[in-house]
Structure 1
């Protein structure tokens, strides 16, 4: 590394035409610059500069050596410029991980950002399982619920309520339940868990806390599939308010026990590093936050 520093000093001497000029540009003393050049010559066993009281001149060996040193400095300047561009403007490939249910929001959320920055490329990995960000080289992951403790950085993008839903056909066949206890006798759809059962935490309009343990007749590791089967009349399901909006509006879903609260679900942007986030990550998080802020069924 010291050799690289001396090469940069030598290139500065040639560029500025004097030891003193290089010293001023580098924030060093003239004697320190002179020592660096002498060390290069001593280690290489050749004279790089002819010195006089008026000027410096490159030797033949010095000319060849300077060409390499100047190229090294130019490459370093280019590398710094690319880092600055990465910091200030989105570019390169953004590896984004999202659940199957959230994938439909990527286009409206990031369309404007991608259009404004042609140098930015998107690789979207859609999977409901938890992906190791480091091994999969993920820049940013959208995740739900309680996060495990880790060294990763997380920013809350928003949250949504759990809504108890059924299809209109189910409601016509079974009626609208008036009390949580009546829910235990019906078929449930739920997220697949290793311990099997589903615990439904709920709160009455008066603030009374309840917990129902149900055994889903149909379990899936994909929330979108659960919602689709609920819309098909196969049972009851908890659906996030963000995802339920369209189904409720066009009549594919009916909300059950609307005065009861079934808890909330936070939405997170997770990155594998906390500091020095590149522009592509920072601006993607900002775009997702703006999109969710205006999306029905989401609270920020």
Structure 2
């Protein structure tokens, strides 16, 4: 490291034409600058500069050495500029991880922002399984629910509620479901559920009535199980049974009448929405701005609750 510093000092002396001018530019004393140059000459066993009381001149060896030192200083300056640009202006590749269900939101959430930054490339990794952000070189991941204590940085973007849903056709086959006011009769119905590794085959749900405070625990064996939430939603729309679905995913579907929300007076819990990054400090502009764009999108998305206001 000392050699690199001495090379930078030597290049500054040549560029500024004197030890004193280089010292002022570098914030050093003239004697310290002179000492750095002399140490270079001692280490190399050569003379780099001819010195007089009024001026300095490069030797032949010094001229060749200066070209290398100047190139090194320019490369270092360029590297610093690129670091500053990464901090202030999005560029390079943004590696983003999202669940299958959330992937459809990436284009409307980030499309306009990406269009404004043509130097930025997006790599989207879509997978419901947990991944190691470091090993997969992920800059930003969208995650739901309780986060593992990984040491990664996380920012809460909002939450979605669990809605109990069924298709109009399925409800009609059950007699319409208009008389259902309590979760208890649903235990004997045909359920669709998310299969999670290590959690057994049973589907468990906790329901609470906000007005009365009554709680009810539901445990059923799904007739159809999948490790993909989007598949569960599609099968629910196809009339295969009841399902607990994320409000963010089905708010539009319910509004369009393709699904019906059941027992809306009961709270079936929900999941927080998180932006997770592998580092806490010095986030590059591409990550900071992507999080801001996602936050703004979720704040206006039907079915998302408790979303913080965009900065």
Would you say same fold, with TM above 0.5?
Answer: yes
Alpha-carbon deviation of 1:260? Answer: 0.6
Alpha-carbon deviation of 1:8? Answer: 0.3
Q: Relative to structure 2, which stretch is displaced further, 193-202 or 224-233? A: 193-202
Distance 2:276 2:227 in 1: 21
Secondary structure of 1:102's match? helix
- Alignment of 1:87 with 2:93, yes or no, is no
- Alignment of 1:198 with 2:213, yes or no, is no
Q: 1:295 aligns with which of 293, 301, 306?
A: 301
1:216-255 equivalent positions in 2, closer than 5 A: 216-255=222-261
Large movers: runs of 4+ above 6 Å: none
Secondary structure of 1:234's match? coil
Secondary structure of 2:163's match? strand
Alpha-carbon deviation of 1:112? Answer: 1.2
> How much is the aligned-residue C-alpha RMSD, in angstroms?
0.9
Partner of 2:170: 170
Secondary structure of 1:118's match? coil
Distance 1:12 1:213 in 2: 75
Unaligned runs of 5+ in 1: none
Task: Deviation per CA, 1:241-291: give whole Å up to 9, x if none.
Answer: 111112112221011111111112111101111100000000000000000
- 2:96/2:139 contact within 8 Å kept: yes
Partner of 2:269: 263
Alpha-carbon deviation of 1:128? Answer: 0.8
Secondary structure of 1:101's match? helix
Partner of 1:189: 192
1:54-203 equivalent positions in 2, closer than 5 A: 54-174=54-174, 175-176=176-177, 177-193=180-196, 194=198, 195-203=200-208
Q: Relative to structure 2, which stretch is displaced further, 154-163 or 174-183? A: 174-183
Task: Deviation per CA, 1:2-46: give whole Å up to 9, x if none.
Answer: 111100000011111111111111111111111110000001011
Task: Deviation per CA, 1:134-192: give whole Å up to 9, x if none.
Answer: 11110001011110111111101111111000011111111312221101001111110
Partner of 2:45: 45
Unaligned runs of 5+ in 2: none
Q: Relative to structure 2, which stretch is displaced further, 153-162 or 194-203? A: 194-203
- Paired positions, count: 300
User: Could you tell me the TM-score, scaled by structure 2's length?
Assistant: 0.95
Alpha-carbon deviation of 1:199? Answer: 1.4
